[in-house]
Structures are given as structure tokens and as C-alpha cells.
Amino acid sequence: MRGEVVLSVSTLLGFFLTLIRVGGVFVFVPIPGITSVLSPARVVMSLGITVALFPEWPSIAATPSAGLFVMWILAEAGLGIGIGLTVAFVSESLAVGAQVMGLQAGYGFATTIDPNTQADSTVLVIFSQIAAGLLFFATGLDREVVRIFAHSLEVWPAGAFVLSRGAASQVLLLGATMFSTGLRLAMPMIAILVMVDISLALLGRVNAQLQLLTIAFPVKMMTGLGLLGFLALLLPTLFRAGMSASFTVIQGLVAR
């Protein structure tokens, strides 16, 4: 006698809603190389994580209407995307700071191929993206994301989350701090490079025969390189502080 696997409608609905939340999270979580991976591999990863979360699948008593099911889908997608965005904002703040620093230090003229998008990007932006991806795993934040995601399924089972204006405002406020954090990261380099420009201008004013224009560019690049070496030592601390703020927002997002 052959055994048959029977999946109820409640189980299928729980699987689908959990899959939507998992997919929303892992679209924006800054996993190195995730965007360059083939779509089938990303689908298999999302399916595998959803199956692993089988004990947390919701038990839906009755078959919902089409309108109610669409509302559940939007709510689950919104929660997953919100969690993913709050994590991604930290790495993007480093990219904003690298973009500002590269423009001031003269590295904006040096471009390379972005391994994620296959497009030309400045070298400092690529460096910040790689550094953020490495720090994401080196500091154990990948485990924290999975832990918070599992906690969200315990507090808000799939199909029970309700989108609120307060939750959306928290995510938007954290996104606004992405630009301020990147600017504060770049301000020390900007200030020192301005002092270098003023010093070269005064030196050229004292002796007009000096061809300072030819050495200004290398001096600024070398000064910027030295400051980048100093800032690289501070990246783990800055990354942890940014992730701490992101996790605070996530906890407020999933709290009842």
C-alpha cells in the first residue's frame, strides 16, 4: 500500500505567506553577490528557508476570500521588505560616504566593474560594498537577522501582521539617517582636503613660479588614501552601531 502526501489548503496558504515574507527580507539583505546569483538559485534559497521554518507556519482555519488574501500578501511583503531595508540602509550609508569621499579625494575618476550590477562604479563605492558584506558576516549579523526574522513569525504569524503608519515612518526615518551617516563619515576627509587646498593655494600665492597644479592631484589622493586607512579601522565599530540602530527599528516594527 503506497503512502500519499496530502497537503491541506491551510498548509499551502501558510507556506505561501511565509514564503512572501522570506522573499521580501532576502531581496534587500546585503548578502555579498546575492544580486548576481541566478534567479533559480535565489528561489531555491528562499524555498529552503521557508521549508526550514515549517514549525512557524500559521494555521489558517478557514479559506479566506480573495480580497482578504491579497491584503495578507501586501502585509507580509511589507513586513519582509521593511526588515530587509532596515538592514540594507547601513551598508548603503557606507556607500554614500564613499561616494562623497571619492569625489573630493579625486578617486571619482577611477572606475571599475561592480560585480553585483556589472556597471561602472567608483573604486571607493565598490570597496565600501565589499567591506559591508564582509562585516555583515564577520560580526555575526547574519545570525541576528535570522533570529529576528524567526521572532517576527512568533510575534506576528504569517497573515496576522497589520501595516501601520508608525511602522512605515520608522523605516523612512532610518532611511533618512542613511544620508546623514554617510555625510558624517566623509566630513573628516572633506575638512582635511579643504585644508590641503588652502595650503597649496597659499603656497602658490607666495611663490607664483611653483607649478602646484600638477602636484595638487597626487597630494590629495595620497592624503585621502592615508585617511581611508585610518577610517578602515573604525568601520567595524561604525557598522555595529548602525546595525544596532537598525535592529532597534526592526524590534519596534515587529512588536505588538
Give per-residue pLDDT as tens, 72-123.
Answer: 888 878 777 777 788 888 888 888 888 888 777 777 666 656 555 556 667 7
Query: CA-CA distance, 99 to 122, in Å (whole number)?
Result: 8
Query: CA-CA distance, 133 to 34, in Å (whole number)?
Result: 10
Helix axes 66-105, 213-254, angle to 10 degrees: 160
Which residue in 59, 79, 47 sits closest to 8, CA to CA?
A: 59
- pTM comes to 0.71
Instruction: Report the alpha-carbon angle 90-222-186, nearest 5.
Output: 25
- The residues, any chain, with a CB within 8 Å of residue 36's CB and separated by 6 or more, are 115, 116, 118
Q: Which helix (H) or strand (E) holds 214?
A: helix 213-254
**Domain range list for the chain:** 9-254
Q: Which helix (H) or strand (E) holds 253?
A: helix 213-254
How far is CA 193 from its chain centroid?
A: 29
pLDDT at 1: 45
pLDDT at 67: 78
Q: pLDDT averaged over consecutive 10-residue blocks of the chain (256 residues)? A: 59 80 73 61 78 76 74 80 80 82 72 58 78 81 77 74 70 79 82 83 74 74 81 81 79 72
Instruction: Count how many residues are written for the chain.
Output: 256
